[in-house]
Amino acid sequence: MVNLQVSAAASYNTPLTPLKGEIDRASATISRAALAQGAICNLDKPEGWTSFDVVNKLRGASRIKKVGHAGTLDPFATGVLLICFASATKQVESLMKLEKEYEGTLVLGVDTDSHDVTGKIINQQAVPALTQTEIAPAVQKYVGEIMQVPPMFSALKKEGRRLYDLARAGESVELEPRAVTIHAIELLRVNLPELTLRVTCSRGTYIRALARDLGKDFGCGAYLKTLRRTRIGEYRSAQSLTVAQFVERLTD
């Protein structure tokens, strides 16, 4: 299996198939024949694309029918998106279990229906004059195993229907909290009304929901303005290929 990044995924303690070779960002070419044998590609998802947009683009460019991704990113988000080709699609479930790292900026004082920048504003309030010493403990209380209510605008299902379909239809449903684990939160910047965080977490954690909950704690609401996934396991954004780089380097 080919690993399309600088560091081999096999060095990370995961149940992945041993690698047959590596292709990194500096590689001049990416062989379609190598992809057909099974490969995991560390892609940098561009803003405005869905995860399936990336899959479809790479499927067409590579001419390989069996292509999938290991962990959805919202259209407004950027960063590491692992694309699996051919036999490597069997690794999707293992890859999805890996620890994730994100950097995100949230805006206090505004609530949106999707809890992110793409949503409709539903409430606005004055932002209190918070200090870093007040913000830090409020953020750190979310470290550990927590019960998190997922966003209504999400791909999760309720009685067989996607939550985002229910939300768009104006249907209100009661969502059950789910256990997720946040391993660490770093407060990178405070520039009110904006806070920038680095979050290391388990599968199933919604950073949009974390922004929503912090907004409630501060009594003014909040939404997620930007989100970048900087790491999945040992797959890092610094090693990611852009979609354009991937396409340009393809050879038969």
Q: What is the reported pLDDT for 16?
A: 38
- Domains of the chain by residue range: 2-97+234-251, 100-232
Alpha-carbon span 229 to 246, nearest angstrom: 19
Q: What is the reported pLDDT for 22?
A: 43
**74 in catalytic set:** yes
Task: Classify domain 100-232 at the CATH superfamily level.
Answer: Pseudouridine synthase (3.30.2350.10)
Q: What is the reported pLDDT for 155?
A: 62
93-145 tens-digit pLDDT = 999 999 999 999 999 999 999 999 999 999 999 999 999 999 999 999 999 99
In CATH, the number for domain 2-97+234-251 is 3.30.70
pLDDT grade for 244, boundaries at 50, 70 and 90: very high
Give just the sign of the alpha carbon dihedral 194, 80, 115, 121.
positive
Domains 2-97+234-251 and 100-232 share a fold: no
Q: What is the reported pLDDT for 109?
A: 98
Contacts of 165 (CB under 8 A, 6+ apart): none
Task: Write down the pTM of the prediction.
Answer: 0.86
Whether residue 199 is predicted with pLDDT greater than 90 in this model: the reply is yes
**From 44, 74, 116, 213, active-site residue:** 74
DSSP string for residues in the chain: -EEESSS-GGGSSS-PPPPSEE--TT-S-EEHHHHHT-EEEEEEEPTT--HHHHHHHHHHHHT-S-EEESS---TT-EEEEEEEEGGGGGGHHHHHTS-EEEEEEEEETEEETTSBTTSPEEEE-PPP---HHHHHHHHHTT-EEEEEPPPSSSS-EETTEEHHHHHHTT---PPPPEEEEEEEEEEEEEETTEEEEEEEE-TT--HHHHHHHHHHHTTS-EEEEEEEEEEETTEEGGGPBPHHHHHHHEE-
Whether residue 13 is predicted with pLDDT greater than 70 in this model: the reply is no
